[in-house]
Chain A
Amino acid sequence: MSEQEIREGMLLAVWDEPPLDFDPDKLIRRVEQKKSRRRALVAVGVATAMIAVVSLSLPGLLPRGDDSQLAADQPVVSSAPVNELTRKKAQRIGDRLAEQLSARMTNLKDVSATLDLGAVYGYPPYAPTTTRKSSDPKMSGYVFLTDQIGPTALRVEAVENGSPTRSTCGGAIMCRDVKQADGSLVTEAEFAEGGPDISRAEAVRRFGNGYAVTISSHNYNPASGSGLRQTVPVRVEVLTALLMDESIDWE
């Protein structure tokens, strides 16, 4: 078989070629589509790689606390648990107050207390104010009791910056500071407001940090504004004893 025969054989082999249906425009469109697909793929790849790098490097860039948790500028604590805990504490204080008052004055019946955060006014339902002002007490409420005359209440109020003794004593027929064994100071005051009987008795315990708790007894029911009586249902010495009760954690 000569080279010439091979040459002729190859030419004859393509002699019956099928018709060519070739469109350059179609080919160009295919290439452009392929190029745009490749560009999109590269963009997605780069974006994925960047996200991966950032997500891996971000924890290393942020400062860490001792417990290896991500440190924020301030500890992130939701307000709900704090309120819940403080409310529970206020209620515990109220329960202890009611217990101690019952123990000290056995003639009282139906002794209970409602203490809550902020300013608590009115009867019923002794609801705390929903919006709190800076002048509002930190905690307030009533200790309800019923004696031989009828139902009444003691007013309880705790403030962060207690007023000085002289403002408590203004208009009082008796006012004294009683130094307690633990170093705290209790101011006892009684008011007659022009009458022969004591219309209000008040005991204020001031702590070293300015925190002050006041329990007052009135010749009316401070929770309802009614139930006027001749004198206060609970004397100031009892109020001081309640303030100084070791089982109550005021602060």
Chain B
Amino acid sequence: MHLQKLPDGSIRLSRLNPWDVQTFRSLPALADYTAAPEAERRLLPAPAIESDLTPEMAMDWVEYVVPELRESFAESFTTVMADLETLSLDPGPEAEDAGDGVADDAEEQGEPSPSGQKSTAKGNVSQQAVEEMQEVEEEPPMPHFVLTIPGDHAEAWFRAMNQARIVLSIRYGIDSERVPELGRLLEAGQLEYWFQYELFVSLQGWLVEAVLNPE
């Protein structure tokens, strides 16, 4: 995934692979706190510590403030999902800046090796291996996607991912301050959540530094 802030303030996410796209599309489900009471309490806590909270304060908060917070949270996902509707196939870096892929193409073009001989992808390998490689080469390339997000949607994206991480943290014990128990996550079929969490951390970190608070 490539991240770029464009001169007009919009954000370009390119070279998105299908897993990236699926992860973004699953943001509302990942961030759903309605089935996780602890996550709901984390996102919508009482306004005051227990010893200072009066019943009137608590009731007013639930009646007037909590609905607005819920609505605010939901708006982020509406924005994100609408942006994802504008996803398109990424023509790739070759189409964007021809000639910038020298290093990537060198091996395919038979760049001279340090010994002065031209190396080939097919040198010193069996015919069977060559056929296998050809089969692999003939597979259609993985599609990549590109997405341009208006600059003023950056905060909605940030909050949607933040909410997803809060819920993932509470539901599956994944967070940024502990080394995850990968074995446990793997056994529980939850390892993908950790990858998703890390994807969000990376993108959020970039959004804060480059877009939301670029000083």
Is chain B a partner of chain A in the same complex?
A: no
By a beta-carbon cutoff of 8 Å, the part of chain A in contact with chain B is: none
By a beta-carbon cutoff of 8 Å, the part of chain B in contact with chain A is: none
